[in-house]
């Protein structure tokens, strides 16, 4: 264990020093929630999926990606450098396109 590691009992004592009314069950639920959030964040995986572009084509079928949330799209310029699509620079997510 690292020198910063604490047992759950130590954490309860430290929280109760600041918040004496906090019960152990409440502190346990808070700790469990924190652990769950950390676990979810660590399990997120970033993947790349290259697609060949077609000159003049604006829309591409991405259904083979499944339920993946697309957060960034880059294209390779003539110099072989990846450039982020300007319309997505503000962090806007790519929206699903309904062909109907």
What confidence tier does 15 reach under pLDDT thresholds 50, 70, 90?
very high
35 pLDDT above the threshold of 70: yes
Task: Specify the pLDDT at position 1.
Answer: 58
Q: Where are the domains of the chain?
A: 8-43
Tell me the three-class secondary structure of the chain, residue by residue: CCCCCCCHHHHHHHHHHHCCCCCHHHHHHHHHHHHHHHHHHHHCCCCCCCCCCCCCCCCCCCHHHCCCCCCCCEEECCCCCEEECHHHCCCCCCCCCCCC
Task: Specify the pLDDT at position 27.
Answer: 92
């Amino acid at each position: 264990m690292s020198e910063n590691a604490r047992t759950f009992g130590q954490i309860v004592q430290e929280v109760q020093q600041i918040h004496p009314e906090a019960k152990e069950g409440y502190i346990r639920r808070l700790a469990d929630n924190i652990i769950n959030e950390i676990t979810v964040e660590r399990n997120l995986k970033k993947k790349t999926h290259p697609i060949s572009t077609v000159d003049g084509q604006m829309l591409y079928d991405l259904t083979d990606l499944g339920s993946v949330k697309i957060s960034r799209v880059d294209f390779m310029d003539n110099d072989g450098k990846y450039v982020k699509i300007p319309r997505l620079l503000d962090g806007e997510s790519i929206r699903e396109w309904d062909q109907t």
